Structure 1
Amino acid sequence: MGQKKIAIFGASGHGRVVADIAVCTGWDVYFYDDVAPLSGATLGMPYGGAFQDLVSDVDHFSAAFIAIGNNKLRLSLQRSLLDAGFYIPTLIHPASTVSSFASIDSGTVVMPGAVINAAARVGCACIVNTGATIDHDCLLEDGVHISPGAHLAGIVSIGKGSWVGIGASIRQQVRVGVNAIVAAGAVVVKNVEDNTTVAGVPAVKMR
């Protein structure tokens, strides 16, 4: 088994970005996906099979990573890999800026240009996408996706499984609930309830 050999489940565009970050941080990448990728889709990296093949190959890898966009499914599959005995790392692009006083849990990816400031806490299986900013004392619960160019001011909390769309902004001390959606470009100035979608400037609840 290679010392730095990682299996990435998910060969879509998001998976390829995650693979690039893994390569940048010293991993040898093998792709797995339930749908066999088209020729060239894995950036020249090997394809090992479907999810159950990955579970069976646990002894062949130093680590594994779930690289799919669906928050709920990403969390579920990460639990399955942990149960199977895989080590799940964090993947942080070297062109991001992450405070040494921030904490980031396993299975989270931090993309280039992202900033995570002091005392921020990021749960497991999160996506902090390209150019997103997470300011001081923010809390991202498990399975959150902060899209490219989204900005969270200080002391913002984002509930489990929630998604903040591209270019959205959230005012300081706002709480976004569990399984909520903040639409692209929204400006959130007050708390967002669980299981709701908000959009607009300022953001309001969608029917």
Structure 2
Amino acid sequence: MYLYGASGHGKVAAEVAEECGYNIEAYIDENPSKIKVLNYPVIHEIPPYNIEILISIGNNRLRKRVVNRGGLFSYVTLLHPKAVISKRLKIGEGTIVMPGVTINAAVKIGKHCIINTNASIDHDCTVEDFVHISPNVALAGNVYIGEGTHVGIGASVIQGIEIGKWCTIGAGAVIISDVPDGSTVVGNPGKIIKVKV
């Protein structure tokens, strides 16, 4: 398999891939100064044949841009063996689940998401495509997270909340009411400080 993106998130993704038993051929990265990461070679052009790949870019918008660009890709889904995951989880292609994560029953996670270290996702949550759930985030039951949203490190979301598309939830925020599309929310309780139209 290949990892598309040779920066910080790419290093973590490599270790998850190794734990899952994948043989990493190389990183793909457009930065010509990158030659080797974690003893894996970095190439600067996509091979002209079908490859297994994980997009290992932390930025949600860039990850979506790579997917929309297309290519001869079969997307890999990585579930770290030290994550505790319900057998009733539905998960999309290209998503990575880090060590220490807990995902409970009847959760739906979309494509190309990052569920980061020690996050907790309770029953009946929906996480749409290109979302990043940061380390130590806690989502209570029946939470909905819209496409492209980034939930910052240590944030907590009470049950039944809906967070819209392409939102930014600040580190440590406590979300107790619904959040509209494009909002940036910080604090405890969470307050909207900006809405990108």
Q: Give the TM-score band, short-chain normalised.
A: over 0.9
Q: CA deviation digits over 1:83-102, x for unaligned, max 9?
A: 42311011111111111101
Q: How does 1:15-26 map to 2 (within 5 A)?
A: 15-26=10-21
Q: CA deviation digits over 1:6-54, x for unaligned, max 9?
A: 1101111100100111111111111111114556x511112222xxx11
| Corresponding position: 1:75 with 2:64 | yes
Identity percentage of aligned residues: 41
| Corresponding position: 1:8 with 2:8 | no
Tell me if structure 2 keeps the 8 A contact 1:11–1:37. Answer: no
Structure 1 residues 85 and 38: CA distance shift in structure 2, 3 A: closer
**1:155 alignment counterpart:** 142
**1:34 alignment counterpart:** 30
Aligned residue pair count: 193
Match of 1:186 among 173, 188, 197: 173
Normalising by structure 2, report the TM-score. 0.93
Shift of 1:107: 0.7
Structure 1 residue runs of 4+, over 6 Å off? none
SS in 2 for 1:46: strand
Instruction: Quote the RMSD (CA, aligned, Å).
Output: 1.4
Q: CA deviation digits over 1:101-129, x for unaligned, max 9?
A: 01110011000001111100000010000
Match of 1:131 among 105, 118, 122: 118
**1:3 alignment counterpart:** none
| Corresponding position: 1:118 with 2:114 | no
Cα distance in 2 between the residues matched to 1:76 and 1:97: 30
Match of 2:48 among 50, 57, 61: 57
Cα distance in 2 between the residues matched to 1:169 and 1:144: 15
Tell me if structure 2 keeps the 8 A contact 1:78–1:107. Answer: no
Normalising by structure 1, report the TM-score. 0.89
Cα distance in 2 between the residues matched to 1:111 and 1:36: 28
Cα distance in 1 between the residues matched to 2:163 and 2:84: 24
Q: Counting strand residues as a fraction of each chain, which structure ranks higher?
A: 2
Q: CA deviation digits over 1:168-199, x for unaligned, max 9?
A: 00000000001111100000000001101111
Q: Counting helix residues as a fraction of each chain, which structure ranks higher?
A: 1
Unpaired segments ≥5 residues, structure 1: 1-5
| Corresponding position: 1:94 with 2:90 | no
Cα distance in 2 between the residues matched to 1:185 and 1:8: 30
